Chain A
């Protein structure tokens, strides 16, 4: 539980896309608004498929929407 190591720019991207609401984004990608809120607050890491759908909704590459904090990684 707690914060995920997958960070995102969804809030910023929504703002730059005509101030898209969380509900509008949720409808575009086919999830509930609660899931978008959880992803935005880094409380839930979406599946790869949903991550791609969110990136597609913004017309941005995946790495522009999500980033991974690799500090303290064993690799």
Chain B
């Protein structure tokens, strides 16, 4: 597994965790029957901050883990970790971004549709953040598939 693949795998785990947290908290609020705009926007803020922090921590841990593995494998004190992106990595990245944008656009459209069909605005806002997280996780899966199967 290359450095780029590991990076994507870490990102996938991070976004899946955040998505899991968001869905759990949302269902808790829904079951308690006290889902209001303050709670939902609070959850929005927590999810956004959490995704930034968890992604940064994940990337740092992955880099440190790679360095430790390289030290053990090669026996060098300062091993070189090849984290450079070549043309294939950039192309896969671009395709993944395209998939993420497409999925997020579909999510935004569906969220708008719920409002048009008479659902409360809270449902629309919940679907917006849900589609953002799901689009990121699914684009990571797509990128990993491109690395594995070729294109």
Contacts and interface: CB of A to CB of B under 8 A. Distances in A.
* Centre residue among A2, A32, A33, A50 by max chain B CB count within 10 A: A32
Q: Interface residues of B: mostly helix, strand, loop or mixed?
A: helix
Interface string A1-15: 110000000000000
Contacts of B149: 1-2, 43
Q: Interface residues of A: mostly helix, strand, loop or mixed?
A: loop
A33 B58 CA distance: 25
A1 B151 contact: yes
B98 to A, nearest CB: 15
Contacts, number: 38
A44 B86 contact: no
Interface in B1-37: 2, 4-5
Contacts of A2: 149-150
B151 A43 contact: yes
B84 A44 contact: no
A35 B4 CA distance: 12
A5 B86 CA distance: 22
A57 interface: no
A32 B88 CA distance: 9
Interface residues of B, number: 14
A32 B2 contact: yes
Interface residues on A, range: 10 to 19
Nearest to B92: A44
A34 B86 CA distance: 10
Nearest to A41: B150
A1 B150 contact: yes
Interface of A: 1-2, 30-35, 38, 41, 43-44, 46-47, 50
